[in-house]
Amino acid sequence: MPGDVKVVERPRAESSYVRAAAKGMSITMRHLLSPNKKTQQYPDEKWELAPRTRGTHRMAVHEDGRAKCVACGLCPTVCPVNCIKLVPAEDESGERYAAIYEIDEFRCIFCGYCQEVCPVEAIHLGVHYENAEYSRERWVYDLERLVEQEHDVTALWDPQDPASQ
Amino acid sequence: MAENGAKATVTLTIDGVEVTVPSGTRVIEAAEHVGVVVPRYCYHPGIPTRPAQCRMCLVEVEGRPKLEPSCTLQAADDMVVNTASDTARTARQSVIEFLLVNHPLDCPICDAAGQCMLQDYAYVTNQLESRVDEPKRIMGRDRISDDILYFADRCVICTRCVRFMRDVAEDDSLIVAQRGDKAYIDTFPGRELDNPFQGNIVDVCPVGALVHEDFVFKARSWDMDATASVCPGCPTGCNVTIDTKENQIVRVKPRHNAAVNSWWMCDYGRKHLVMTNRGVRAEVPLIRDGGGDGDDGGELRPVDWATALDWVAEKVAALGAPGGSAVVSPDASNENLFYLRTLLDRLGVADAAFRVPQGETAELPTVPTLKLRADRAANAAGAGFFGGRRADGPPDGPAGGALVVLDDELEGAGEDFGGSADFFLYLGTRLPGPARNADAVLPIATFAEMDGTFTNFENRVQRFHQALRPPGLARPGWMVLSRVLARLGDGEAVNDVRGAFERMAAQAPAFAGLTWDGIGLKGAPAAGSAAEAAGVAGPAEAGA
């Protein structure tokens, strides 16, 4: 015998499901009729994201449409998961530019270091998360695609208080 | 020198540490003895002139009212030098602040970033902000020779480049043009910069003002791996550092060795070394053993190393000592040549011809040992040690016996080269047409892809190290040959160059007494060489 088992009689009032079911239904009805319903009709209704949300990257451009990136190589250096591929080159006017710039959004952990380290404020994370694709390859964003992104860029810090003091 | 009663050494105190140095030593060099590197721009140990114009190396000397430039200040007895006093630091900070007034701070795109003395000292002096509201002067960039770019905005006018050309290369084609904040480096009007040693001005530049055109925007300094090596361009054997990125050589820089190349190297060497590893390579062992799917059995077929080595060893054993001939490359390392010689002795092949391409010579007037020599091969001396015979003209195969070729391109050889040999073994980095007649092709690594040694023109044995991964199944020649010999019961298969070198030192008289560690990164004279006879310190003597 595994010791003494104490058998507790449950009061009838608690063991009946009727009361609990009625209570549950009342909560359901209350929420159903309430004016401040919280259920979000995604994807018809989108989330309102915080300005510091770190999501899909976006490349800033000059007025003439060229990417601002100067191919300095700091973002692939600082990236903790090596998701940025960069090959620098020289253009006709002797300026340094990124001949190849690819970010693997699948591998990215959205830490925001690339945006933080960028000396020319070219690469940004974005306030955006909807990037489902049918293939893995499509998750590697090349420079053209990064430039095409239109979402807001992440505010990594408060402009009024950049040092968070 | 005890001349006029002067003492041979002086003792002074630098930053609280007493140090004794030969008299005549400058304080900046004496400070390095106690581990203090005084910041400097215009001072370079390889350039004899010291204008003391950058004002970066100012130090405080007790008892003297003003700061003194340590690059020209001679160390004297009882001198008490303080390199990091408040006054010295403030002076240094002011210099940096002045230099940064017009510096573009384009570190993100500058090729010197990470290896830049202005960047380093700006951090050290904590120069975060500029007090200047005026716009920076912008000068742009210029091409001062066919392969060197000059970014005038980055220049700190230390004149190292001008003085290297004038005082070391004795070529006064570079000048400082204009004055003050408009000063820039340019070629003298009507002159061109076309010195065979001009590439060194890029190495002496403390900032990113002078850049080789073929290196511009290629690699950031922190992406590169540096490997100590030896230039294979000519028998001088300049000590170099090979910078690699993603298994590609991106840059070659001279490495200081007072006995060989001082601080410099020639432009031919730089370009030649970068090109060494380009081109299509032999990557798989090939044998003509009658196997494979072809029924004629006459085709070379790719096999794995074990099969290839077994088959070659079997053939060599079956041949006995039929005699024959060999063609070796004067670019092969000592270890490769040694193992080849061991194999050739077994085959009874005495003759090993090597052909040395010739080129134009060039001299650096102030460094007598540094010369671009006419022989365009790294190790002709080594080939000579192992029974090599200098030959001219295209190689011709023997009319029988064995034919062994070590990494010779077989230029000028006939289409049926080696066809009449009983056994034709080709060890090579590439696979030129005539090598396809071989009975076995064993792919080997280039000098940049393995460890080894070269013997330079004055029989100085110098180590080089592996900078790149060999392509495909290519392996170092000594590794391959030691395995062939091991299968024949001669020695062990070596995986480490130390093993190969040890066996060579034990068996080859020219290398007697040398050890891999003893050679070190500066090289050592081979036994019985002129350099050793002249009393150049080497491990052979140190060990005795």
pLDDT of amino acid B530: 52
- Please give the DSSP secondary-structure letter assigned to residue B179: -
Nearest to B97 by CA among B67, B70, B124, B72: B124
Sorted by where each begins, the domain ranges of chain A are 55-148
Distance from CA of A97 to the nearest CA of B (A): 9
pLDDT digits (tens, 9 = 90+) for B260-306: 999 999 999 999 988 877 788 999 999 998 765 544 557 889 999 99
pLDDT of residue B536: 46
pLDDT of residue B420: 83
pLDDT of residue B293: 55
Q: What is the mean pLDDT of residues B52-56?
A: 93
Report the distance separating Cα B126 and Cα B116, nearest Å.
15
Rounded to a whole number, what is the distance in Å from the CA of A47 to chain B's nearest CA? 37
- Contact at CB, A90 and B223, closer than 8 angstroms: no
Report the DSSP pairing between strands B286-287 and B440-443. Answer: antiparallel
The per-residue pLDDT for range B463-479, each reduced to its tens digit, is 999 999 999 999 999 99
Q: Apex CA B234: angle with CA B229 and CA B240, to 5°?
A: 20
- Judging contacts by C-beta atoms under 8 Å, the chain A residues touching residue B108 are 70, 72, 74, 119-120
B86-102 average pLDDT score: 93
Enumerate residues 6+ apart whose C-beta is below 8 A from A137: none
Q: Which residues of B touch A120 (CB under 8 A)?
A: 108
Cβ distance A72 to B220 less than 8 Å, yes or no, reads yes
Q: What is the DSSP string of A47-96?
A: ----TT--EEEEE-B-TTS-B-----SHHHHH-TT--EEEEEEE-TTS-E
Beta carbons of B150 and B185 less than 8 angstroms apart: yes
Q: Tokens representing A69?
A: 């990136």
Nearest CA in chain A to B245: A87
Put simply, the chain B residues between 95 and 124 with a CB less than 8 A from any chain A CB are: 107-109, 113
Closest CA to B351 of B300, B402, B301: B402
Give a three-class secondary structure readout of B12-42: EEECCEEEEEECCCEHHHHHHHCCCCCCCCC
pLDDT tens column, B369-389: 999 999 999 999 999 999 888
Q: Could B109 and A90 be called an inter-chain contact, meaning their C-beta atoms sit closer than 8 Å?
A: no
Q: pLDDT value at position B540?
A: 38
Enumerate the β-bridge partners of residue B454. B462
Measured N-to-C along each axis, helices B477-487 and B334-347 cross at an angle, to the nearest 10 degrees, of: 30
Q: Which residues of B touch A89 (CB under 8 A)?
A: 217
Residues of chain B found within 8 Å of residue A96, distances taken between Cβ atoms: 109, 217
Q: Identify the residue with better confidence: B158 or A164.
A: B158
Average pLDDT over residues B317-336: 92
Name the DSSP class of B277.
T
Indicate the fold that domain B93-223 takes in CATH: Alpha-Beta Plaits (3.30.70)
Contact B163, B207 (CB under 8 A): no
CB contact, 8 Å: A75 with chain B? no
Facing A120 at nearest CB: one of B108, B113, B223: B108
Nearest residue of A to residue B223, measured between CA atoms:
A77
Cβ distance of A72 and B223 shorter than 8 Å: no
Question: B163 Cβ partners below 8 Å, 6+ apart?
Answer: B47, B49, B51
CA of A85 vs chain B CAs: smallest distance (Å): 13
DSSP secondary structure code for residue B481 in this structure: H
Q: Which one of B154, B217, B222 would you mutate to disrupt binding with A, by most A Cβ within 10 Å of its Cβ?
A: B217
Strand B210-212: give its sheet, edge to edge.
Answer: B141-143, B148-151, B210-212
Q: Which amino acid is at B12?
A: L
Segment B98-114 shows an average pLDDT of 93
* Nearest CA among B414, B486, B501, B416 for reference residue B455: B501
Q: What is the pLDDT of residues A53-96, one digit of tens each?
A: 999 999 999 999 999 999 999 999 999 999 999 999 999 988 99
| Residue A106: pLDDT over 90 | yes
* Least CB–CB distance from B108: residue in A72, A90, A94: A72
Residues of chain B with CATH 3.30.70.20: 93-223
Residue B92: closest CA among B118, B65, B64: B118
Greatest CA separation found in chain B? 94
The mean pLDDT of B355-380, rounded to a whole number, is: 92
CATH of domain A55-148: 3.30.70.3270
- Helix B86-102 vs helix B117-124: crossing angle, to nearest 10: 130
Chain B closest CA to A45's CA: distance in Å?
42
Contact A88 B217 (CB under 8 A): yes
Nearest CA in chain B to A71: B109
| Token pair in block for residue A143 | 């420079």
CA angle B279, B282, B286 (to 5 degrees): 160
Q: Under an 8 A CB cutoff, do A71 and B216 touch?
A: no
Domain with CATH 3.40.50.740 in chain B: 286-543
B220 shares contact with chain A (CB less than 8 Å): yes
Query: HSE (CB half, 13 Å, CA atoms) of B135?
Result: 3
Q: Which of B155, B153, B186 is nearest to B172 (CA)?
A: B186
Give the pLDDT mean for B82-110. 93
Cβ-contact B183, B99 below 8 angstroms: no
**Which of B197, B236, B523 is closest to B375 using CA atoms?**
B236
pLDDT tens, residue by residue, B147-189: 999 999 999 999 999 999 999 999 999 999 999 889 999 999 9
* Average pLDDT taken over every residue of chain A: 90
Inter-chain residue contact B109 with A94, CB threshold 8 Å: no
Beta carbons of B142 and B150 less than 8 angstroms apart: yes
Share of chain B above pLDDT 70, in %: 94
Which is higher by pLDDT, A165 or B522?
B522
Q: B108, A94: Cβ pair inside 8 Å?
A: no
Quick one: tokens of B359?
A: 């080129």
pLDDT value at residue A17: 85
Q: Which of A118, A123, A112 is nearest to A157 (CA)?
A: A112
How far apart, in whole angstroms, are the C-alpha atoms of residue B169 and residue A158? 57
- Is the pLDDT at A119 greater than 80? The verdict is yes
CB-closest option in A73, A89, A94 to B220 = A73
CATH of B9-84 given 3.40.50.720, 1.10.579.10, 3.10.20.740, 2.120.10.70:
3.10.20.740
Q: A119 and B216 in contact by Cβ < 8 A?
A: no
CB-CB neighbors (< 8 A) of A94 in chain B: 141
Question: What percent of chain B is predicted at pLDDT more than 90?
Answer: 79
Is B223 an interface residue toward A (CB < 8 Å)? yes
Residue type present at position A144: E
CB-based contact A90 B216, cutoff 8 Å: yes
User: Is pLDDT at B533 greater than 70 in this prediction?
Assistant: no
Asked if residue B321 lies in contact with residue B400, where contact means CB atoms within 8 angstroms, the answer is no
* Cβ–Cβ pairs < 8 A, chains A and B: 25
Structural fold of domain B286-543: Rossmann fold (3.40.50)
A94 → chain B, closest CA residue: B141
> What pairing do the DSSP bridges indicate for beta strands A96-104 and B286-287?
unpaired
Whole-angstrom distance, CA of residue B52 vs CA of residue B250: 34
Contact A71 B217 (CB under 8 A): yes
From chain A, the residues in CB contact with B218 under 8 A are 88
Question: How many helical (H) and strand (E) elements, i.e. helices and strands, does chain B have?
Answer: 14, 26
Distance, in Å, from the CA atom of B477 to the CA atom of B341, rounded to the nearest integer, reads: 12
Q: Is B278 on the interface with A (CB under 8 A)?
A: no
What mean pLDDT is predicted for residues B483-505?
94
> Is B216 in the A-facing interface, judged by CB distances under 8 Å?
yes
